[in-house]
Amino acid sequence: MNETAITNQEFALFQRLIYKIAGISLSDAKKVLLVGRLTRRLKLHGLETFTQYYRMLADGGNAEELQAMVDLLTTNETYFFREPQHFDFLRDDILHRRRGGSPFRVWSAASSSGEEAYSLAMALAEHLPDTPWEVIGSDISTHVLAKAATGHYPLARTDGIPPAWMKKYCLKGVRSHAGTLLIVPELRKRTHFYQINLTQPVTADIGEFDVIFLRNVMIYFDPETKRKVVHNLLPRLRSGGYFIIGHSETLNGITDRLQAIRPTIYQKP
């Protein structure tokens, strides 16, 4: 497929647009990626230039196409039990000390296609067998959320799942579904997904949480957006709750409302 050329001025328009919508700072090095992912949308609408496509998006009259652009330009790399030290901490330091009370709730705030949310669901089902619990997953991309809601994944992407948990919490596909797995219904009915833009105040009726995972998404934000995102999420974290970020991220200089427990793990006083 021949790709439509983009000028520096046109690319700058899309940099500002995706920053305004999703808080993503798209570097100049991402120009080839943007052209590769959006050229098909121009051709679909019979447009010849990125300026024409930008005008279609910027006039506010095509919310569906705007969402399609966001879906294409957001990064959704994830897998089951990514950065396993955080799941060890959840098991040994949080759940081990859990003593009844209200249902235990965890928010996978940048859940992408759901692998992190279902990893959390497996951990809670395993270590809180007699306690009510719930996992919420959220993302800005409707495309990955639709995939997450199915709980259906290729077997090739499930290496991180412990073998015993694979047998207990996953159903292997047969015949036309061979080579895939389905998260068991018992976990899927306690794992719910919402479209949430973390750069905006959270208005969805999702309640409060004992733990919030916000991992490997702030690397795409500038400091101002990081502060805004954390500020938007903290009202949803219960007092004494834990806020967990990715191993390449830090909250230094971002907020003083959390106490560092260890690198990448914070607690709300």
Residues designated as active site = 37, 139
Q: Give the DSSP letter string of 95-117.
A: ITT--SSSPEEEEETT-TTSHHH
Please name the helix (run of DSSP H) or strand (run of DSSP E) that holds residue 152, with its range, or none. strand 152-154
Lookup: tokens for 246:
């990715």
Report the alpha-carbon angle 165-169-171, nearest 5.
115
Chain CA centroid to CA 128, Å: 24
**Rounded distance between C-alpha atoms, residue 247 and residue 264, angstroms:** 6
CB atoms near residue 38 (< 10 Å): 21
Please, are residues 84 and 112 in contact by the beta-carbon 8 Å criterion?
no
Helices (H), 105-162: 115-127, 142-150
Please, are residues 44 and 4 in contact by the beta-carbon 8 Å criterion?
no
